[in-house]
Structure 1
């Protein structure tokens, strides 16, 4: 349905991604959900061999030179394997690589981006700490200048891909006395002595994605591993919010899609009171709502990705990306809810994958910035736009389009 938004090269890539998705063994998905597989290295290695990761990056660093529209398409298709598969796919290739491509040196790109996009090494982003995740500037991890290197101490947790990562993108305080926006630095930290990784068990869903607790104990990091500038971590973080949140939105569409497909097939075969349950409005209307929401999600994801590709001003992108992340993740959770509901009790069992999808997509509205944080950003940017538009006089003042608009003593604000 959205083919008209894709270039010829992107449509070819979509066929490649779909072919790849079909090759993934069912048993891998089951073993990951059962915590028998802690991190799908073979899956990522094969994706790298097929040149499917980081499609929007320059060819010289291992990408395909495509755009955000193509990236959204890829993330949706990978997401059909399961939300956690898309998470592990995106964390290294769409988050860590993005930071290094946009802010790193050529030497860093050669050493860390090219082999990752080939599927030869793996990476994770370390953002959340035990004290919280949304409070980015409250980071307590520190990096102390030791001359030719820094020494990092602190903890990060819920780090998707951490168990299998060969290196980490880490934000740490390098100037505890500076203002929050100027106190952090972004580092590439190799997995080495001083970096302790513990796989986290007991997750409700999204198991097998290498979610880990990372402890840094006097971890040595050479100065050439600073990404961007010293005390310039905010600039890196700020640009990464696009791949973090828009990527999350796109992969959630893919993760929810199979639930609706399974439910649609089930309702055309399951009979009650002498006919297929799809013929009852109580069922078909829930399927219709889910289909509508998925289409609305795709429309928002593709519109936002086109805006990013077009270079729309940063404040507008912040609002669009935040709206996309919030609307799509919540709508897709509703899609899965409806899918389970029309299937009845069987949907609540592991006879069908809907119960696993239900558990997995619950993460979508929490990670990469909670949806409450998205609401804060949306509200801030919307009010800013409203005030700017009023000040510029570019729009009609519709407040006056009422019979008693100018009645004395009626409009009281204090």
Structure 2
């Protein structure tokens, strides 16, 4: 019979004092500055502008960016620790953090020119402005090659026309990375990524989406009509845009996996606390075996998700191939988040169905982690492809 070996690739999951300090700072910020007013922000779908500004001041919006460009110079493990703690309380705030760190700042630092980094990255890393990653379209979600937005080559500039949908930070961002088709005959090799600033003539923010979850994050459509973009704002060589998007999303999956982990852990902590306060049939509901089994399974699956997230983060920090690990982490953590939040609502009973106890919001927030930055079905395709690569 064939045997299997567990290959952790020499990974060490011990956290340093610096890691623990980041974790504690994120936890304090979430409890003291995000938790107050969170129900009202969710009800009103109100962007947490003041809290996001504080995130920039505390260094949470450019954690992995080099200090040369105003960032914290931290590793990916620090980032996922902070993402988990903030997501336990407010997934709307953590998705702002995720997009700015994982997609926009990472992409610019990894592939941008020195001039682009000095001009744009420093503002993003410090929280002076927010970034948006503009890939999805009405007919281009999971199939990112089907870009209808065009960037027509006009010599020294591109003329951009099209619409982007479901863009996080759509209204609050000042700098957008826009994926657009320049040469349709070349298919995915004819796609470019362009830096477009808010206020550029022809660039209009469209409607705000009325969402089930992460309601306080601003999700908008963006419209481009004859927008002139200098060639100097193209990231990488001509035709590099699709590869840029896929590479950036690989890292982004780690951030969303950490968000899903935080949502699940937040729901579990609320359920555990409630189970020791609520009494039924003359004793704490925690003392009923049915509740114990639920909590035990929640704790186990969350710990498994945490190890997958940490592994992906470590591999990225060690400059090893992390594509499969990131996809596995996102797939598993997002499923755990959806399941654990549902169980948390069940443990709370009728109280779980009302906003005051927070778990119903976490359940609504959890669902998007199975969808954005690559659906669960796409993660399975990525994992399968990596198995035989």
Aligned equivalent of 2:350? 345
The corresponding residue for 2:374 is 369
| Cα shift at 1:287 | 0.8
1:77-226 matched pairs, under 5 angstroms:
77-178=85-186, 180-192=187-199, 193-226=201-234
Show the counterpart of 1:228: 236
Deviations 1:227-262 (CA, angstroms, capped at 9, x unpaired): 111111122113212321111000111122221111
Query: Where do 4+ consecutive residues of structure 1 move more than 6 Å?
Result: none
Q: Distance in 1 between matches of 2:238 and 2:318?
A: 30
Question: Which of 360-369 and 73-82 deviates more?
Answer: 73-82
Q: Match of 1:5?
A: 14
**How many aligned positions are there?**
378
Q: CA deviation at 1:17?
A: 2.0
Deviation at 1:113, TM superposition (A): 1.2
The aligned residue for residue 407 of structure 1 is none
> Is 1:358 aligned to residue 366 of structure 2?
no
SS in 2 for 1:205: coil
8 A Cα contact 1:293 1:332, kept in partner: no
Distance in 2 (CA, whole Å) between partners of 1:35 and 1:213 is 19
Does the residue aligned with 1:163 lie in a helix, a strand or coil?
Answer: coil
Post-superposition offset of 1:281: 1.0
Q: Are the aligned partners of 1:51 and 1:62 in contact in 2 as well (CA < 8 Å)?
A: no
Structure 1 window deviating more from structure 2 (301-310 vs 96-105): it is 301-310
Structure 1 stretch 8-17 or stretch 362-371: which is displaced more? 8-17
Of the structure 1 ranges 11-20 and 73-82, higher mean CA displacement relative to structure 2 is found in 11-20
Q: RMSD of the alignment, in Å?
A: 1.8
Q: 1:10 deviation in Å?
A: 2.3
Q: How far 1:195 sits from its partner (Å)?
A: 1.1
Inter-partner Cα distance in structure 2 for 1:272 and 1:239:
52
Please tell me whether the aligned partners of residues 45 and 118 of structure 1 are also in contact (alpha carbons under 8 angstroms).
no
Aligned to 2:43: 34
The offset of 1:122, in angstroms, is 1.2
Instruction: Give the unaligned 5+ runs of structure 1.
Output: 385-414
Check if 1:291 corresponds to 2:299.
yes
Alignment CA distance shift 1:224-1:31 (3 Å): farther
Give the unaligned 5+ runs of structure 2: 1-11
Q: Map 1:268-287; keep pairs closer than 5 Å.
A: 268-287=276-295
From 30, 38, 54, the counterpart of 1:46: 54
Q: Deviations over 1:331-366 (max 9, x none)?
A: 121111111111212111223100111111110000
1:36 to partner: Cα distance: 4.9
- Structure 1 residues 77 and 126: CA distance shift in structure 2, 3 A: same
**Range 39-48 or range 348-357, more displaced:** 39-48
Q: Distance in 1 between matches of 2:176 and 2:185?
A: 25
Q: For the structure 1 residues 265 and 220, does the alpha-carbon distance in structure 2 shift closer, same or farther, using more than 3 Å as the test? A: same
CA separation of 1:9/1:351 partners in 2, compared to 1, >3 Å: closer, same or farther? closer
Larger Rg: 1
Tell me, yes or no, if the aligned pair for 2:160 and 2:229 is still in contact at 8 Å.
yes
Relative to the length of structure 1, the TM-score reads: 0.87
Structure 1: distance between partners of 2:353 and 2:68:
48
Equivalent in the alignment of 1:322: 327
Q: Is the CA contact (8 Å cut-off) linking 2:104 and 2:133 kept in structure 1?
A: yes
